[in-house]
Amino acid sequence: MIAVDWGTSSFRAYRLAPDGAIVDKRSAQLGILAVPEGKFAEALESQVSDWLDAGAAPVLMSGMIGSRQGWKEAPYAKCPAGAKDIAACLVDVRWGLSRSAWIVPGLSCRDTQGVPDVMRGEETQILGAIDEVTERSAWVCLPGTHSKWARVEGERITHFATYMTGEAFAVLKAHSILGRMMSDADVDPVAFQSGVLRARESGGLLHHLFGVRTRGLVGDLSNDDSAAYLSGLLIGHELAAVPRLSGTVYLLGALPLARLYSEALKSYGVDTEVLDADAAVRGLFKLAQMLPRN
Amino acid sequence: MIAVDWGTSSFRAYRLAPDGAIVDKRSAQLGILAVPEGKFAEALESQVSDWLDAGAAPVLMSGMIGSRQGWKEAPYAKCPAGAKDIAACLVDVRWGLSRSAWIVPGLSCRDTQGVPDVMRGEETQILGAIDEVTERSAWVCLPGTHSKWARVEGERITHFATYMTGEAFAVLKAHSILGRMMSDADVDPVAFQSGVLRARESGGLLHHLFGVRTRGLVGDLSNDDSAAYLSGLLIGHELAAVPRLSGTVYLLGALPLARLYSEALKSYGVDTEVLDADAAVRGLFKLAQMLPRN
């Protein structure tokens, strides 16, 4: 089969053996935003036409390729959902004389107040990593621009919540008064942890943010430590909002950020386990097994 | 006397009669950032040299003119502080043959965890409005880019806290993914209030922010209502963080924003009273009365 992890800014394709082993892989700066005028079939062919010609099938694609801005919108599957439920919502695309592929839907849920939440791509990563989650009920956290916290019970994702942590950090650093006092120094772990702890105090995030400035003004915080403190503050506020934070949290994401989350969670007395970040390909393989055999 | 409210982006000067009545006033786009190479004396002379020549004295100036980037840094007075305490920290500047003026210091405090907070200019506004605060102990709120909540007891400001609400709104609207779905429509009161109420639910601000996007994605929130909802959300989170929110809150600021805060506070069952926003001049007059007479 061919597994494609196709996001906003990147394209990664894998050719898999029948047992799921990766036989070959290719990647390109060909995220959906880089594909002109809806020419997604052409973009895919430009990367893997030889695999397709050789009869590799099926083709499964996950990520923003299934969004309104992608190849074809794949309506969100609804929580709770496991691999079978998500596979039941696969959307197919066809091109050329006899080519076809499946697009994985994203996942949606509503919180107790009815406010919706969505993910697209992360559900496939979680499916790929879910076998490593040994607790019966646990959080899987995917840190990032829009951090996802998914509650996994058995083989299913029961609900999840998104936190705009990474994006808030980026816009505050680049565009607010806080960024003016920040150098691009490496993240200092002490300053980071001090932000995490501050988040557990009273005052609220909007007040704590101003404290980044005042602590700098009075010399409590150096320009080199300021970004690390802000990062800890925001991640700390994310963690403070997650209900039922106990047991082991499974982190799914690139190492530098996963390590920061791991440090932050320590202050909550919570253990963490970092899962293999390349889980999308395994999730796509798992979903392919659910397709009816021809 | 001459009272000068000299901020980052604006300059306002008032000539006052001995009883505090405004005899004349002038304003200019001559905030401290617009004054070249520290030429503050020249800038002041360019606006009010005729008043100075006529012997109007003393000259008192409040706002960012006393900051590190201003004419001369006026170190923060410390909370708790009333007019007398602040007047004791006035800093003088001299220029020309015999000209002089006083710069009002800002105010600082530390919260129970030792994190500092500062204001510069708002303390003078509060002093000017403090006589209208009829409760023995009450909050005075100055909504804005960096909202200030000052606790006033009798004639003194006992402590205060700053919330980065207005700036967070501005950078999120202009630079985050949330802004992409926002029109520049007038603030819809229903959408605003819905954001205020959302802030009282669980989930935390970073999660609630992502909800602005998802509610838009699924059609729960129109592009016209999106900015109002975000505004309500942020102001709601500010209010949720203010301790001892009861009785009457005194709002000191321009009307459109003060009205929004008033609406938001209603949902907390809190009454509001809007104070005259031009309080700085009265605060400067009050401070001038504390100067030793020559």
Residue A294 confidence (pLDDT): 53
pLDDT tens, residue by residue, B122-133: 999 999 999 999
pLDDT tens, residue by residue, A115-146: 999 999 999 999 999 999 999 999 999 999 99
Shortest CA gap A238–chain B (Å): 7
Among candidates A176, A202, A215 on the partner chain, residue whose Cβ is nearest the Cβ of B116: A215
Which A residues in the span 61-80 are in contact with B, Cβ-Cβ below 8 Å? none
C-beta atoms of A241 and B204 within 8 A: yes
Shortest CA gap A112–chain B (Å): 9
| pLDDT band per the 50, 70, 90 thresholds, residue A112 | confident
Q: What would the DSSP string read from start to end of A31-54?
A: -GGGSGGG-HHHHHHHHHHHHHHT
C-beta atoms of B217 and A118 within 8 A: yes
Residue B277 confidence (pLDDT): 77
pLDDT tens, residue by residue, B207-224: 999 999 999 998 999 999
Residue B294 confidence (pLDDT): 53
Among candidates A177, A204, A220 on the partner chain, residue whose Cβ is nearest the Cβ of B237: A204
pLDDT tens, residue by residue, A165-219: 999 999 999 999 999 989 888 899 999 999 999 999 999 999 999 999 999 998 9
C-beta atoms of A116 and B204 within 8 A: no
pLDDT tens, residue by residue, A9-56: 999 999 999 999 999 999 999 999 999 999 999 999 999 999 999 999
Q: A171 in contact with B at a CB cutoff of 8 Å?
A: yes
- pLDDT > 70: percent of chain A: 99
Rounded Cα distance between B122 and B157, Å, is 11
Among candidates A146, A164, A207 on the partner chain, residue whose Cβ is nearest the Cβ of B241: A207
pTM, rounded to two decimals = 0.94
Among candidates A113, A117, A163 on the partner chain, residue whose Cβ is nearest the Cβ of B206: A163
Residue A255 clears pLDDT 90, i.e. is over it: no
Q: B214 in contact with A at a CB cutoff of 8 Å?
A: yes
Q: B164 in contact with A at a CB cutoff of 8 Å?
A: yes
ipTM given for this complex: 0.95
Contact B58, B293 (CB under 8 A): no
Q: A244 in contact with B at a CB cutoff of 8 Å?
A: no
